[in-house]
Amino acid sequence: MIEIAAFLDRVDRAEGEADFRLSAFRKALPILLTNEPEKAARVLMAFSDPTTEPIPAATVQGATGAWPGTPVK
């Protein structure tokens, strides 16, 4: 919890535009406070690409941590 709080403080102190990963992070946070089961799976889904079609070509080799589109509900 302290690591998450410190991360958000760090973001507040930083300058510049936030990228899509911060948006995904903020959308995932409320999952932790629900009384629903399978929180870990739902947090992972909040960062996941929910589409089903393969992409035309891989232009990079690494992952970024969050899908830049709209997270699946």
Partner 1 sequence: MRYIEPHAHMVSRVTDDYRAMTAAGCAAVCEPAFWAGFDRSSPQGFYDYFQQLTEHEPKRAAKYNLPHYCFLCINPKESENVAFAMEVIKLIPQFLDRPNVLGIGEIGLNKNSRNELKVLEAHVDLAARHQQLILMHTPHLEDKYKGTRLTLDVLKADGRIKPERVIIDHVEEHTIKMVLDAGYWAGLTLYPGSKCSPSRAIDMLECHGGERLWINSACDWGESIPLSIPYTALEMRKRGHSPEWIDKIIFKNPFQFLSQSPKFKIPETAY
| Contact stretch for partner 1 (CB under 8 A) within 8-16, 26-34, 40-48 | 40-48
# residues contacting partner 1 (CB under 8 A): 25
Residues 5, 39, 71, 44, Cα dihedral to 10°: 90
> Do 66 and 24 touch, CB atoms closer than 8 A?
yes
| 2: contact with partner 1 by CB under 8 A | no
9 binds partner 1 (CB under 8 A): no
Helix (H, G, I), strand (E, B) or coil at 30: helix
Interface residues toward partner 1, by CB under 8 A = 38, 40-42, 44-45, 47-52, 54-58, 60-67
